[in-house]
Amino acid sequence: MSVLVGKKAPHFSAPAVINGDEIIENFSLDQYLGKNHVVFFFYPKDFTFVCPTELHAFQSQLGEFEKRGVKVVACSTDSEESHYSWLQMPKEKGGIQGITYTIVADTTKSIATNYGILFGNYDYTESGELTSTGPMIAFRALFLIDKTGEVKHQVVNHLPLGRSVEETIRIVDALQHNELKGEVCPANWKKGEEAMAESFKGVAEYLSKH
């Protein structure tokens, strides 16, 4: 597993389902360069239990991301056909019908591998045959990517641990505040609260008030 913060997000081009009902062959995050911040998150598998709660949670807050100019993109190692089928299943039956953001199909597992969050490893036997250990699916990982394509934040959870969409929005707000104001954001900072000047004097002044 690797830390990508401060580095360019790995490039990929892969099949995906867009708008909840259309399969395309060559989806890439490159289309957002210079235009949008991106929340790119991985989930383990389609037709599971914790995963739909996360997918619906991101959908319920999609308007908050959109008004911040942020694109939300999901990804798992399932096929685009599996994504499409799950998208047609109603929420009350465990499906993700109503999800409108893009879901990428990482069937080769190369995207999860390049992002360093594949749960499992490839190896070779003594006879040269390729084998794998572990389930070979993605951990619950999330990457916040800025307009230049640089990763600014990442979080990786084990399979049983669902993520907080509210925390993701808070981190987006902190990044955008830093980009706009040049100020740094202290612990538990929320949009609209006082931030800190990026200097010893600024930090000292902030701490003197708190």
pLDDT tens per residue across span 98-147: 999 999 999 999 999 999 999 988 777 778 877 778 899 999 999 999 99
- Residue 101, domain member (yes or no): yes
- Residue 95, domain member (yes or no): yes
Total domains present in the chain: 2
Q: Give the domain range for residue 207.
A: 164-210
Q: Are 16 and 104 in contact (CB under 8 A)?
A: yes
- State the pLDDT at residue 124: 75
- State the pLDDT at residue 37: 98
- Residue 129, domain member (yes or no): yes
- State the pLDDT at residue 63: 98
- Residue 7, domain member (yes or no): no
pLDDT at 21 over 50: yes
Q: Are 106 and 75 in contact (CB under 8 A)?
A: yes
Q: Based on the domain organization, do 183 and 124 belong to the same domain?
A: no
Q: Which of 116, 117, 83, 130 is nearest to 102 (CA)?
A: 83
CB count in 10 Å sphere of residue 66: 13
For the chain, helix, strand, coil in percent to 5 are 30, 30, 40
Q: Give the confidence band of 204 by pLDDT, cuts at 50, 70, 90.
A: very low
Q: Which residues are catalytic?
A: 51
Q: Based on the domain organization, do 115 and 39 belong to the same domain?
A: yes
Q: Based on the domain organization, do 181 and 150 belong to the same domain?
A: no
